[in-house]
Amino acid sequence: MGKDVIIACDFDSAEKTFAFLDKFTGKKPFVKIGMELYYAEGPSIVREIKRRGHKIFLDLKLHDIPNTVKKSMAVLSRLDVDMTNLHAAGTVRMMEGALEGLTRPDGTRPLLIAVTQLTSTDQESMERDLLIKEPIADVVMHYAHNAKLAGLDGVVCSPLEAGKVHERCGEKFLTVTPGVRFADGDIGDQKRVMTPAEAKKIGSDYIVVGRPITAAEDPVAAYERCVREFVD
């Protein structure tokens, strides 16, 4: 898979999701299904979006003991998504277990991506709440390195970190980056943002874009603008 724009379908029902996807006549964008939609509708929403011909990033961010994650990933692998994820904080052993569980008997599997530190965590909360005293940039790189050691395909990170992750973990290690906004757009609650064109320049492999597309007056035009700036 090459560079692509992934639309974050952050809706709370199948009805709203399909009303949105129906606008894309003839096009089948790569979509992200997160906890909100998955918990609202269950695995059937994944099957139905897949049946309609979309690629799917199932963003459930697993984090539990290695055995539980391994067995849960084995169940998720049957949904035939293209990409899924977990928290690198669950340790290298947990990530290795996840990879094992995700791999189907024929050796194929979805891409597996690790969340490093959530972008909602800052230096202060990491030190105070998690007792991690290192600089957050080093923690992100350390987690990325652990994900690579465990054999994962890449990390979710800020587009601002994508270049450094590639330097440390190699060009082939994927960077999936949310926090994307148009130069003339609203930034909402995202703090550190980049335009699709900047994300391309810094080397993001996939951008995850929610509200700039889902809340746009013309979502299809907004999606096409992202593709023009990021992929073409």
| 207 lies in the site for ligand C5P, by CB under 6 A | no
197 exposure class (CB count in 10 Å sphere: 0-12, 13-18, 19+): middle
| 3 lies in the site for ligand C5P, by CB under 6 A | no
Query: What x/- string results for residues 81 through 120 when contact with ligand C5P is judged by CB under 6 A?
Result: -------------------------------------xx-
| End-to-end Cα spacing for the chain | 15
| 4 lies in the site for ligand C5P, by CB under 6 A | no
Structure tokens at 14: 């199948």
Find the shortest distance in angstroms from Cβ 106 to ligand C5P.
31
Quick one: which segment of 95-103, 147-155, 202-210, 222-230 binds ligand C5P (CB under 6 A)?
Answer: 202-210
Find the shortest distance in angstroms from Cβ 133 to ligand C5P.
21
| Torsional sign, CA 45, 2, 154, 126 | negative
Q: Which is nearer to ligand C5P, 139 or 208 (CB)?
A: 208
**Catalytic one of 61, 71, 164, 201:** 61
Find the shortest distance in angstroms from Cβ 195 to ligand C5P.
12
Rounded to whole angstroms, the Cα distance separating 158 from 162 reads 7
What are the two backbone dihedrals, phi and then psi, of residue 31, each rounded to the nearest 5 degrees? Answer: -120, 150
**Contact set for ligand C5P, span 12-41 (CB under 6 A):** 34
DSSP string, 23-92: TSTT---EEEEEHHHHHHHTHHHHHHHHHTT--EEEEEEE-S-HHHHHHHHHHHHTT--SEEEEEGGG-H
| 210 lies in the site for ligand C5P, by CB under 6 A | yes
Quick one: which segment of 44-52, 81-89, 145-153, 203-211 binds ligand C5P (CB under 6 A)?
Answer: 203-211
202 exposure class (CB count in 10 Å sphere: 0-12, 13-18, 19+): middle
> Would you call 61 a catalytic residue per the annotation?
yes
Interface residues toward ligand C5P, by CB under 6 A: 8, 10, 34, 118-119, 156, 178-179, 188, 190, 208-212
Question: What positions carry a catalytic annotation?
Answer: 61
